[in-house]
Amino acid sequence: MATPPVIDGAFARWLAERAGQALLGVRAELGHDDPAALKAAGDKVAHDLLRTELARWRPADAVLSEEDDGSRRAWVAADDTAADDPAQGVAPPARLSAERVWIIDPLDGTREFSEEGRSDWAVHVALWSRQGSASHQLVAGAVALPAQHRVLGTDQPPAYPPMTVGPAGAGGAAPVRLAASRSRPPAFLTGLAEDVGAVLVPMGSAGAKIAAVISGEADAYVHAGGQYEWDSAAPVAVATATGLHASRVDGSALKYNEPDPKLPDLVVCRKDLAPRLLAALQRHIGV
pLDDT, tens digit (0-9, with 9 covering 90-100), for 104-150? 999 999 999 999 999 999 999 999 999 999 999 999 999 999 999 99
pTM above 0.85, yes or no: yes
| pLDDT range class, residue 276, cuts 50, 70, 90 | very high
- d(CA 69, CA 251) in angstroms, rounded, equals 32
pLDDT for residue 163? 66
pLDDT for residue 82? 43
- d(CA 26, CA 113) in angstroms, rounded, equals 10
Res 94 pLDDT > 70: yes
**Nearest-CA neighbor of 129 among 96, 99, 162, 109?**
99
Question: What region, left, alpha or beta, does residue 99 occupy, with left being phi > 0 and alpha being psi -120 to 50 degrees?
Answer: alpha
| pLDDT range class, residue 80, cuts 50, 70, 90 | very low
**Nearest-CA neighbor of 192 among 267, 108, 272?**
267
For Cα atoms 135, 213, 187, give the angle at the middle one, nearest 5 degrees.
Answer: 90
For Cα atoms 248, 179, 284, give the angle at the middle one, nearest 5 degrees.
Answer: 50
Sign, CA torsion 245/248/252/256: negative
Question: What region, left, alpha or beta, does residue 190 occupy, with left being phi > 0 and alpha being psi -120 to 50 degrees?
Answer: alpha
pLDDT for residue 161? 81
- d(CA 165, CA 201) in angstroms, rounded, equals 15
Average pLDDT, the chain: 90
| HSE-up of residue 149 (Cα within 13 Å, Cβ side) | 0
Cβ–Cβ < 8 Å for 121, 147 = yes
213-270 pLDDT per residue, tens:
999 999 999 998 789 999 999 999 999 999 999 999 999 999 999 999 999 999 999 9
- d(CA 151, CA 17) in angstroms, rounded, equals 7
Q: Which of 55-64, 82-91, 255-264 has the lowest mean pLDDT?
A: 82-91
pLDDT for residue 84? 46
